[in-house]
Amino acid sequence: MVWKDRTNGDVTAVARNGKHLLLGGHFSKIRGHQRTMLARVRASNGAVERRRAHTSGPRYPGVLDIVIAGRKVFLGGAFDDIARQAHLAVIAP
């Protein structure tokens, strides 16, 4: 399956968590939904999930890597604030 979606910036990191994909990058919108640097979408159809982490600050260069380990998601990059953490954030999937 080829999956394409529109963002207003690049997606630079992708990780699969069960039926969902976590997308990171330097975007602020995906499919018209406000999601700055991080979005959770359904892997089957790309539908944007309502749940989102708190993000603020400049979106560039944003999230550069996503690693899922058990019940934690590690986000790395050059961001000022994701879940009130800078450069390395740990959030729940």
4 within a domain of the structure (yes/no) = no
**Count of beta carbons in the 10 Å neighbourhood of residue 49:** 14
pLDDT in tens, 45-68: 889 999 888 998 888 999 999 999
The residues near 1 (Cβ < 8 Å, ≥ 6 apart) are: none
5 within a domain of the structure (yes/no) = no
pLDDT at res. 30: 93
84 within a domain of the structure (yes/no) = yes
Query: What average pLDDT does the chain have?
Result: 91
3 within a domain of the structure (yes/no) = no
The range of the structural domain enclosing residue 81 comes to: 11-91
pLDDT at res. 5: 72
65 within a domain of the structure (yes/no) = yes
68 within a domain of the structure (yes/no) = yes
1 within a domain of the structure (yes/no) = no
The fraction of the chain above a pLDDT of 70, given in percent, is 97
**Above 60 in pLDDT, residue 1?**
no
Longest dimension (CA), the chain: 36
- In the chain, the number of structural domains is 1
